[in-house]
Amino acid sequence: MLILSLIWAWIAWNVYRPWHGKPESFGVISFAFGLLAGELPLHFVAVEFLITIGLIAADGLHGLLDASAVLIAGASWLALAQFHNQADGAREEVLDAARQALGDDFADKIPAQRRRTIPPGPAPGQIIQPFGYQVPGVKRVRNVAYFREHETELKLDIFHHETQPPNAPVLVQIHGGAWIIGNKDQQALPLMGQLASRGWVCVTLQYRLSPAATFPDNIIDCKRALVWIKENIANYGGDPNFIAVTGGSAGGHLSALLALSANNPDFQPGFEDKDTSVQAAVPFYGIYDFTNSQEQRQHPGLENLLTKHVLKCSLSDNPELWRQASPLYHVSDKAPPMLLIHGEGDTLAPIAESRVLYKALKEIPGVRVGLAELPYAQHAFELWYSRRSVQVICALEYFLSALHEEHLKR
């Protein structure tokens, strides 16, 4: 029991103090346990408690060491319960970031009736069943082809309310996976389900992955999907004139790059005349400067990945391509309103990445940007329903709804 309780204590410690040092492999382990325990803390407490009760019932605990083990386990449960409670603060962090971008009174722009539909927090069922992604009233249209050429076929999924109200705001989600794995079926499902249930049209798209694909293939695919959405989303109730883009990790990078490189012909071969601007962007925990110009990253792992599999050249060999792939080098006064969201506990993509992009955008007159730094949050924290992820989603809806109301009044 003592060994088990010490493992549990480390799991609880890790959510508060994730590994940011060397070797990088420890950071990956810290991420995996931190994400699971941090976003499912009560589930961990329940399982560990039942195991302890089972051992006691089986008369498997004896003496001072086992008594100490139970006390250690109890302390870890209290720590995880407290971690669960502090997640409510994520809502205010995101709202503060929205105020940075849109002003202190931004929420007043949203009609009271619309504000009332935004939940005050997670429902009990979402905490109990964090993977219950199906939302009543939401229809998902799967595998709609947006591009075909030779043997390449790229698809997207569309979430919309079954009543299909017309001229609904549109949210485009770009999945992560280090540009080499992942798919449109796995990520941001809570975000898309919740927004679609309240009248949004949400789209998640597929793009070519490395190493078979080489940058800029991935961003070209995202722009092709955006063009298709603008031309066809009205058929699903969406308003092509109000499109926001989001994504996490590699999807955070691509969503930021998409928003900041609007109408860049380098990323639109064969469709240079198409409009690829968006009205808002909400990148989650992305990598925004491949060149690491301000030493945001202390480890070489990402640079090696980009060199071998994504860009297929080193920074020294082709610095211009590395800059072209970095959202930081596309910052301009044409940037749409942006809300950057990043966890302070992220062991895979350091929060310094978002701070650098935020600072660059903030220095440009007229650009509206906010940065939400979420205490203790790990990479990919919003993959499923948790107290933190739902609070972030609700606050994010305030930001996007305020911008949509601005759009409607123009």
Catalytic positions: 249, 346, 379
The backbone torsions φ and ψ at residue 152, rounded to the nearest 5 degrees and listed phi first, read: -95, 125
For 283-301, b/e burial (b = at least 16 CB within 10 A) is bbbbbbbbebeeebbeeee
Phi and psi, residue 18, nearest 5°: -65, 160
Give the span between the Cα atoms of 317 and 91, in whole angstroms.
44
* CA gap 228, 243 in Å, rounded: 12
